[in-house]
Amino acid sequence: MAEPEKKTCHKTTRRENFRVVVEPDCGTGSEESYCRDIKTEIGRHVDYVKFASVEYDTLEVCSFCGRAWEPAKDEEGPHCSGCGADIKEEPPND
Ligand SMILES: [Zn+2]
């Protein structure tokens, strides 16, 4: 009587969650407003779209120099380690 064939396997990959990534070409304009306009245009003109969304990453940065938020402190008080600007209380969220 022949041995039953043993099951074997190996690591492989499976592709899922297919989506289309669109990067705006917005020159000096606001990336956010270009992305929102593109999303609206996709909704108007493109078939086979189930869902489109504008997504972004949120970074903590200095409001003065735009570098990553890295507060430092010395005898004069807290300041940005990137540009040296004194740290004041945050303005209310807009
Ligand atoms: Zn700064």
In-domain check, residue 83: yes
In-domain check, residue 23: no
> Cα–Cα distances in Å, from 47 out to 23, 44, 51, 64?
19, 9, 11, 43
Cβ neighbour number for residue 80 with a 10 Å cutoff: 20
Distance from residue 63's CA to the centre of ligand 1 (Å): 7
Distance from residue 49's CA to the centre of ligand 1 (Å): 42
Distance from residue 78's CA to the centre of ligand 1 (Å): 11
- Predicted local confidence at residue 94, as pLDDT: 57
Ligand 1 ion local residues (Cβ < 5 A): 62, 64-65, 80, 82-83, 85
Query: Domain check: are 67 and 85 in the same one?
Result: yes
- Predicted local confidence at residue 27, as pLDDT: 82
Distance from residue 88's CA to the centre of ligand 1 (Å): 12
- Kindly list the averaged pLDDT for each block of 10 residues, start to end, along the chain of length 94: 83 90 86 93 93 92 93 92 90 64
- C-alpha angle 73-81-86 in degrees, rounded to nearest 5: 65
Domain total for the chain?
A: 2
Query: Domain check: are 75 and 89 in the same one?
Result: yes
* Owning domain of residue 94: 60-94
Structure tokens of 42?
Answer: 């996709």
- Predicted local confidence at residue 48, as pLDDT: 92
In-domain check, residue 10: no
